[in-house]
Amino acid sequence: MKRDYYEVLGLARTATNQEIKAAYRKLAIQYHPDRNPDNPEAENKFKEIAEAYAVLSDGSKREKYDRYGHSGLSQGDISYDFNDIFGGFTDIFDTFFGGGGRYQRQGSRQRGNDLQYSLQISFDEAYTGTEKKIRIKRHEHCPECDGSGTRPGTGRKTCPTCRGRGSVLIRQGFFTMSRTCSTCGGHGEVIEHPCETCHGEGLVVKEHEVTIRIPAGIEDGDTLRVRDSGEAGPGGGGYGDLYIVVGVKPHPIFRRSGPDVGFDLPVTFSMAALGGEMEIPTPGGKAELKIPAGVQSGTVLEMKGEGFPDMNTGKKGRVLATVHVKTPHRLNEDQRRLFERLREVEDEPVSVWDRLKSMFAGKSV
């Protein structure tokens, strides 16, 4: 049983012509066979949408349908040519589905495919920036025929099947569908005398050297684009782009988070107690870090302007040193005497039980 035409287009029965046209355009693009190849369900849906539009967009047919429903329509009322109902939709369908012959008649050339390459660099190279030369295999225009695919001295001819349109009309019952021409593959032209080097493809595989400029401050996973270093387009079309996915190798000491760099800083017992200055490593070399007296393990000390540069502004981030106080476990005689003397003069630590007693008594220790 046929569905209600208004339901097919998702419209109320009071819909205006403009609303009918807009609904048809949206659904036709969604279910167009070129967008849903080898999908019979989408093709049937597209036919149903086109049939509904053919009736509702015609004033007299719509009047019959509104009064008598499907039974009021004759075979001729719902028989149509897709070229007729596309009417003002030519531009939008060309945008989405290539436009068949118009694409070729305007002499447009299809751009080549983009390529992707994974490049590993060191932590230090990410900090300073660097240049890398890589070699990739890609399709380039055939030097013998300049990418035309034709033997030198010959040219392409208009396809005899589609007469240069790039598409043919196929009639299925009372429907007429547009399909890509199988003779020319949608190009609208055929090659009678193919180039012997590329066998009519217009493309050959070659090795291509590219210089990659890595900016200082790049992060692991960042992507760089190198224009026109992808593959050549068919028929003399332009080159695609090359996308470089950068991987930064981990550092044995540093941990990076954006422009900031962290690491674990071992501090001696005496330095933690008395404070002082320590020479610490940074991505750019070394720097003096002030250690405050009484610093505890887990404290993060910050040094500004010693981290990674921002790729856009060049401003450097921070170095974040997480303190780990080293408790000595092997003492010589002098060290042992010093610690024993320290134990004699330092404050007696408050036991856990004393703390609990103070809490219940309302006192702080």
Give pLDDT tens digits for 271-320: 999 999 999 999 999 999 999 999 999 999 999 999 999 998 999 999 99
Residue 119 has pLDDT above 90, yes or no: yes
Amino acid identity of residue 200, one-letter, is G
Q: What digits encode the pLDDT tens for the residues 273-285?
A: 999 999 999 999 9
What is the rounded distance in angstroms from the CA atom of residue 11 to the CA atom of residue 228? 47
In the predicted model, what is the mean pLDDT of the chain? 85
Tokens, residue 255: 């941990």
Sign for the CA dihedral angle at 68, 70, 73, 74 comes to negative
Residue 97 has pLDDT above 60, yes or no: no
3-state secondary structure (DSSP) of residue 259: coil
Please tell me whether residues 18 and 114 are part of one structural domain.
Answer: no
3-state secondary structure (DSSP) of residue 95: helix
Name the least confident of 102-111, 167-176, 187-196, 240-249: 102-111
What is the rounded distance in angstroms from the CA atom of residue 268 to the CA atom of residue 77? 94
* Cross-strand bridge partners of residue 262: 255, 320
Please tell me whether residues 81 and 40 are part of one structural domain.
Answer: yes
Q: What digits encode the pLDDT tens for the residues 29-75?
A: 888 777 777 788 888 888 888 888 889 988 888 988 888 888 877 65
CB-based contacts of 199: which residues, under 8 Å, 6+ apart?
A: none
What is the rounded distance in angstroms from the CA atom of residue 282 to the CA atom of residue 263? 9
Q: Is residue 262 part of a domain?
A: yes
Please tell me whether residues 279 and 300 are part of one structural domain.
Answer: yes
**Residue 314 Cα distances to 159, 218, 287, 311, angstroms:** 57, 11, 20, 6
Name the least confident of 5-19, 34-48, 148-162, 201-215: 34-48
Please tell me whether residues 225 and 115 are part of one structural domain.
Answer: yes
Report residue 357's pLDDT band, with 50, 70 and 90 as the boundaries.
low
> E-strand spans in 73-181?
115-121, 130-141, 156-158, 167-172, 175-180
What is the rounded distance in angstroms from the CA atom of residue 44 to the CA atom of residue 50? 10
Q: Is residue 354 part of a domain?
A: no
CATH number, position 262: 2.60.260.20
pTM above 0.95, yes or no: no
Please tell me whether residues 241 and 114 are part of one structural domain.
Answer: yes
Tokens, residue 67: 């009064």
Report residue 106's pLDDT band, with 50, 70 and 90 as the boundaries.
very low
Q: Domain limits at 80?
A: 5-97
Residue 107: its pLDDT value, please?
Answer: 43
Residue 93 has pLDDT above 50, yes or no: no
What is the rounded distance in angstroms from the CA atom of residue 36 to the CA atom of residue 23? 19
Report residue 356's pLDDT band, with 50, 70 and 90 as the boundaries.
low
What is the total count of domains within the chain? 4
**Which of these, 287, 269, 291, lies nearest to 342 by C-alpha position?**
269
Q: What digits encode the pLDDT tens for the residues 313-340?
A: 999 999 999 999 998 888 889 888 988 8
Contacts 24+ apart (CB under 8 A), 104-107: 104/164, 104/165, 104/166, 104/187, 104/188, 104/189, 105/164, 105/188
Are the C-beta atoms of residues 319 and 259 closer than 8 Å to each other? Answer: no
Are the C-beta atoms of residues 148 and 236 closer than 8 Å to each other? Answer: yes
Please tell me whether residues 22 and 76 are part of one structural domain.
Answer: yes
Residue 128 has pLDDT above 50, yes or no: yes
Mean pLDDT confidence for 125-154: 94
Please tell me whether residues 18 and 57 are part of one structural domain.
Answer: yes
Q: Which residue has the higher pLDDT, 118 or 103?
A: 118
Residue 108: its pLDDT value, please?
Answer: 52
Q: Which residue has the higher pLDDT, 203 or 348?
A: 203
What is the b/e burial string over 126-157, where b = at least 16 CB atoms within 10 angstroms of the residue's CB?
A: bbeebeeeeebebbbbbebbebbbbbeeeebe
Please tell me whether residues 218 and 114 are part of one structural domain.
Answer: yes
3-state secondary structure (DSSP) of residue 97: helix
Please tell me whether residues 130 and 203 are part of one structural domain.
Answer: yes
Longest CA–CA span in the chain (Å) reads 113
CA dihedral 29, 34, 35, 41 (to 10 degrees): 90
Strand 175-180 and strand 189-191: pairing?
A: unpaired
Q: What digits encode the pLDDT tens for the residues 1-24?
A: 788 999 999 999 999 988 998 899
Please tell me whether residues 47 and 131 are part of one structural domain.
Answer: no
